[in-house]
Amino acid sequence: MSRTAIVEIIAEPYDAIGQRPRDLALTGQRLKAAIVGAQSRRPPENGRRAVVWRRVRELYLDASCAAEQRDHVRAGGARAMAGAFQAGADRGRAHQCFRDQRTVTDTRTVVVFGGTGFLGRRVVRHLLDHRFSVRAASRHPAPSAAVKSATVVFVRADVNDDESIVDAVKGAFAVVNAVSLYTEHGRQTFDSIHVEAAARVARHSRQSGVQRLLHVSGIRANAASTSRYIASRGRGEAAVRSEFPAVTIIRPAVMFGMDDSFVTPLVGLMRTFPVFPLFGGGRTLLQPAWVEDVAEGMARALQVAGPAEIYELAGPQTYSYQTLVRTISERFGFRRALLPVPFTLWRALAVITERLPYPPLARTQVELMELDNVASPDCPGFPALGINPCPLGEFLKRQ
């Protein structure tokens, strides 16, 4: 897609300076005026324009501009970004102008535990887009250029430590718990993180007067599951609800996005090996969701007057694992033979690899691949939040 097409798709609904969208191609004073006027504009919420807008912003933040520019562009203004892309003007001065004009209209504070992780840092971005101020809480709160902002405070907090949680949530309007664990090690177990720590965050949030709590769980969470991971998710939901009855539980499907642990490793394996091993016969069903859509859904859930108790956020298309692998290989031009490998062999291999410092495979992954990962028709999802989710195929086309 050409830069001009991107500009017109993004800018069409906006008219911050009283000009036709194509006039934004002009440089200089008109670009400056567009940036100043765009600060009060909201990004498109649905449809193709919303998908393109979020993708352009994601690329612009994560790859295309220096940290100083990221700080100011992320704060909002689709037209400002469109003008900068089309005109190719002096970005440094343009973003300085935007920074000088920026104001915060909603000072409600949201604390995001796990705010520097794969999902958490996106949640922080989208909360900022909705004019919240944010505290990104984690054990290692190193500010990321992609979420730097005057309205983000990075705080050190450990979900296993009561005092640090109390300090982090003090005076907050809402709390998001996006902390998760996929491989147990030492004292960090599924129960210690998904159950005990989750209940601790919920309890201190309630006692501190927090009004809203979002708890990230997972599709198929079930305390009676034979999978220790899935069972801990189910027990965690129950523990959190007992401490904070008004909690909103977010159950995302497997997520894809830049630097994910889903599509990226698959592409790496396909580049390396001429034969691709499938989990079982490759018949497990998956309904992958774009991480940016999940983060946007969470931000919107905090603004719904009467949110649902549970949202299951899954993508618009369901794939068998084999079909998904073929879809990815065709997109990147790989011709790979697919080899079905029984789950018993996968489990045995995982027992061995889990002894490594950074295991490429864990028993949890094998367990999850034995079960379908699709949303329940009984739970509200993206449509209930006014979101038309991005299909995996559309995401792959832009890679």
Which tens digits make up the pLDDT trace of 189-200?
999 999 999 999
> Of 81 and 201, which is predicted with more confidence?
201
Question: Do 113 and 195 fall into the same domain?
Answer: yes
In a domain, 166, yes or no: yes
In a domain, 381, yes or no: yes
Per the structure block, which two tokens stand in for 136? 């990104």
Question: Do 50 and 123 fall into the same domain?
Answer: no
CA distance 293 to 318: 16
In a domain, 200, yes or no: yes
Question: Do 96 and 131 fall into the same domain?
Answer: no
Question: Do 40 and 130 fall into the same domain?
Answer: no
Structural domain total, the chain? 2
358 band by pLDDT with thresholds 50, 70 and 90: confident
Question: Do 125 and 208 fall into the same domain?
Answer: yes
CA distance 217 to 237: 7
In a domain, 264, yes or no: no
pLDDT of amino acid 354: 86
Domain boundary among 101, 120, 152: 101
Q: Is the pLDDT of residue 203 over 80?
A: yes
In a domain, 359, yes or no: no
Alpha helices in 273-342 (DSSP H): 291-301, 321-331
CA-based R_g, the chain, Å? 22
> Of 22 and 166, which is predicted with more confidence?
166
> Of 215 and 1, which is predicted with more confidence?
215
Question: Do 76 and 117 fall into the same domain?
Answer: no
Question: Do 77 and 128 fall into the same domain?
Answer: no
SS3 sequence of 72-137: HHCCCCHHHHHHHHHHCCCHHHHHHHHHHHCCCCCCCEEEEECCCCCCHHHHHHHHHHCCCEEEEE
> Residue 221: is it exposed, middle or buried by C-beta count within 10 angstroms (0-12/13-18/19+)?
buried
CA distance 395 to 51: 9
- C-alpha distances in angstroms, 125 versus 21, 148, 151, 156, 255? 26, 9, 11, 19, 17
Q: How much is the pTM?
A: 0.74
Question: Do 15 and 159 fall into the same domain?
Answer: no
- C-alpha distances in angstroms, 89 versus 163, 314, 328? 49, 39, 37
Do 121 and 140 form a contact (C-beta atoms < 8 A)? Answer: no
183 band by pLDDT with thresholds 50, 70 and 90: confident
Question: Do 66 and 129 fall into the same domain?
Answer: no
In a domain, 269, yes or no: no
Mention every residue, 6+ apart, whose C-beta is less than 8 A from residue 307: 248, 301
- Domain span at residue 63? 3-101
Among 39-48, 182-191, 196-205, the range of highest mean pLDDT: 196-205
CATH number for the domain including 242? 3.40.50.720
Question: Do 156 and 305 fall into the same domain?
Answer: yes
**pLDDT tens figures, 98-157:** 223 233 333 599 999 999 999 999 999 999 999 999 999 999 877 665 555 667 899 999
> Of 40 and 135, which is predicted with more confidence?
135
Question: Do 113 and 54 fall into the same domain?
Answer: no
Question: Do 218 and 149 fall into the same domain?
Answer: yes
